[in-house]
A and B are shown apart, each in its own frame.
Chain A
């Protein structure tokens, strides 16, 4: 043992290299597939790179300025993304919290209800899109069938700009509820019952219990769920491309879809990179805002 240590010095426990040997495999992949692409992406965003071009030259801020030209399709897509995020994230957080509170109550069969409401969040987006296109089919879809049964007018669903956006929001709510409800549920179960008991003895109302005990203690979870839903919301892609295709017109075209087409159907990679960095900055901005307002010590 002693001898081996002397000969293989870098593997000895006292060698400062030991932690780096443990980290090496991960860092290799991390640097190669995360750090390097980030930096290269930033560089590409200042060039006129296309996959097929021989000559690449830097164009300064031109890609960025072109994207931010009024009326550019990117701005329209970005606007739709904001609309989607503005609708879907509050709805998800609100429903997630409300449903978590309900299925946390001592109700018969609550395990069944928890599973039923959360299960869709593990289904892949292509399956989700296929089954919702089928259900929402204008002519032979199940939902329009029941609408007619109830004497309601046939809905256009994905063929009308307004309802098409609603469809995307609705499918997101259905498919992502679990990823919001379950953390809230776990958070609710972590709150010690004594807090409520003490407050009830002091004569607190139901609303006050929620406002002054539940909500403050859920703050870290609200932050976690809020940030992750925001990041996910800005990345919405599969639901849109497979259900509405961005239509009708450009009414549900989202930023990710535009980026995908510009980058990989038209191969304007410089422009696509610039787009991804604009999106990244927007997300960073909102993430930081959320951290500023929701983090900070929880007061008991």
Chain B
């Protein structure tokens, strides 16, 4: 009896704590959204108001069509393009590379695999300067390629897909190989389709990292028509004053919305992906 009371009190306290936490975590996003729907002159009123009155999407139209400093609409298209190209090429290249690491025995495999794992821990800045010089010399600064190519050098996907391929039963491909299928046909018709869940997770992670990447694009893109969203946002901010926060918040929310929406629909997949890639090797 006594323990039941204690449990209820504990439960109640925990619940209140959680509600406070959730409010603290959601308020910044909601305030950003609320501000972005206000007219600029209504953003610094005293006392503050949470419900925009009048509510307007004027800021979003400004942000997406014209905008001083950087054009967020163009940046949105750039970000989408870069993400799409990176995802497409990453899936192909990484799954091709993962296959022999999961299924074939060959000389040099342990070394390749060790390098693949080791490079997971290399922070970006060790290659920042030479990579920059490289793209500068190749005259590829301010192009999509200076964002796509380095992303393809990441061994994260190779590692993750290899781990997944190990869990596919061998019998399926052995049957195909005995029937005279070439290694490549076996890979393409049997292994690749079966890897689909891992490929979906990899697409998601690649999308998040290429959409959110900040430092490298900041370094390599200085032409506003070529910028991806995070870089454009930082330039955009410098062109606006404190009395125009409605417009600035509309830009910030435009940058955040795609990843948030994707996250809401794929949360389970992301959590599972974080684990399978990180540990269960």
Contacts and interface: CB of A to CB of B under 8 A. Distances in A.
Given A126-B229, A183-B275, A34 B28 contact: no
B21 interface: yes
Interface in B73-128: 92-94, 96-97, 99-101, 104, 106-107, 109, 112, 115, 119, 121-128
Nearest to B212: A124
A45 B131 CA distance: 14
A250 interface: no
Contact of B211 (A124, A128, A140): A124
B28 A135 contact: yes
A234 B93 CA distance: 30
B64 interface: no
A18 interface: yes
A197 to B, nearest CB: 17
A30 interface: yes
Contact of B252 (A51, A113, A115, A127): A127
Nearest to A32: B153
Contacts of B27: 142
A44 B129 CA distance: 9
Interface in B200-241: 208, 211-212, 214-215, 219, 229-231, 233-234, 237
Contacts of A140: 43-44, 242
Interface residues on A, range: 35 or more
A29 B275 contact: no
Contact of A107 (B18, B242, B267): B18
A209 B107 CA distance: 47
Interface in B245-281: 245, 248-249, 251-253, 255-256, 259-260, 262-264, 267, 270-272, 274-275, 278-279
Contacts of A22: 96-97, 99-100, 104, 183-184, 187
A174 interface: yes
B149 A51 contact: no
A182 interface: yes
B206 to A, nearest CB: 13
Contacts of A34: 119, 122, 127, 153, 155
A277 B130 CA distance: 12
B48 interface: yes
B131 A37 contact: yes
Nearest to A31: B153
Interface string A251-265: 000001001100110
Given A19-B106, A113-B18, A127-B255, A280 B123 contact: yes
Contact of A105 (B14, B212, B259, B278): B14
A131 B252 contact: yes
A122 B125 contact: no
Interface in A72-108: 99, 102-103, 105, 107-108
Interface in A108-122: 108, 112-120, 122
Interface in A212-257: 220-221, 224, 227-228, 231, 234-235, 237-238, 242, 256
A185 B271 contact: yes
Contacts of B271: 182-183, 185-186
A26 B96 contact: yes
A159 interface: no
B133 A269 contact: yes
Given A19-B109, A235-B124, A280-B126, A51 B183 contact: no
Nearest to A16: B106
A13 interface: yes
A119 B29 contact: yes
Nearest to B35: A134
A163 interface: no
A186 B245 contact: no
A175 to B, nearest CB: 10
A224 B274 CA distance: 10
B28 A18 contact: no
B262 A23 contact: no
Given A131-B32, A182-B271, A276 B158 contact: no
Given A44-B130, A122-B262, A123-B260, A237 B215 contact: yes
Contact of A23 (B100, B130, B214): B100
Given A135-B28, A237-B215, A183 B274 contact: yes
Given A122-B259, A130-B249, A238-B215, A221 B279 contact: yes
Q: Which of B11, B127, B214, B237 has the most CB of A within 10 A?
A: B127
Interface of A: 1, 11, 13, 16, 18-20, 22-23, 25-27, 29-30, 32-34, 36-38, 40-41, 44, 51, 99, 102-103, 105, 107-108, 112-120, 122-132, 134-135, 137, 140, 142, 145, 174, 177, 179, 182-183, 185-187, 220-221, 224, 227-228, 231, 234-235, 237-238, 242, 256, 259-260, 263-264, 269, 272-273, 276-277, 279-280, 283-284, 287
17 contacts: A29-B152, A33-B150, A37-B127, A107-B14, A116-B26, A126-B231, A131-B31, A182-B270, A186-B275, A224-B279, A235-B124, A238-B230, A242-B237, A259-B125, A263-B132, A264-B132, A283-B121
Given A34-B155, A38-B126, A269-B133, 15 more contacts: A16-B107, A116-B21, A119-B260, A123-B260, A124-B214, A124-B233, A132-B28, A134-B248, A177-B25, A238-B215, A256-B215, A259-B128, A264-B219, A279-B126, A280-B123
